[in-house]
Amino acid sequence: MLDEQCIFCKIIRGEMPSKKVYEDEHTFAFHDINPIAPVHVLVIPKKHIPNVLAVEPEDERYITAIHRAIKKVVETTGIAEDGFRVITNTNRHGQQTVFHLHYHVIGGRQLTWTM
């Protein structure tokens, strides 16, 4: 389920410190170490799934749980009403750097649509 070398699996196992925002049976959410906005939280499944391309039908419960977790995270951090953005970078053009599926939850300031 988890990968020996993966840094996000190490965070899930508690072998690497993180600032936890939310956790449940299927997900873990923590503050990004290099935030691009006042609120920048990463929501990850407690299974080593490399990215959205690697999601299998049996992973459905993780994907559903991630959406529930995102709601908890934005309520906890107080950005639900003003709004926020959810981003999943994938492979080279998406500039994915960590190959454990993660959803960036970004808010706390006005965002613009520039890539």
Closer residue to ligand 5GP (CB): 18 or 77: 18
Looking at 9, 29, 37, 69, which residue binds Zn ion (CB under 5 A)? 9
Q: Mark whether 31 is an active-site residue.
A: no
- Residue 56 has, within 13 A of its CA and on its CB side, a CA count of 5
Using Cβ positions, the residue closest to Zn ion within the complex turns out to be 6
Q: How near is the Cβ of 22 to Zn ion at its closest, in Å? A: 18
- Residue 52 has, within 13 A of its CA and on its CB side, a CA count of 10
Stretch (H or E) spanning 38: none
Output the CA–CA distances (angstroms, integers) from residue 25 to 6, 12, 50, 94, in the order listed.
19, 11, 19, 28
Closer residue to ligand 5GP (CB): 23 or 32: 32
Catalytic residues: 102
Binding stretches for Zn ion (CB under 5 A): 3, 6, 8-9, 48, 100
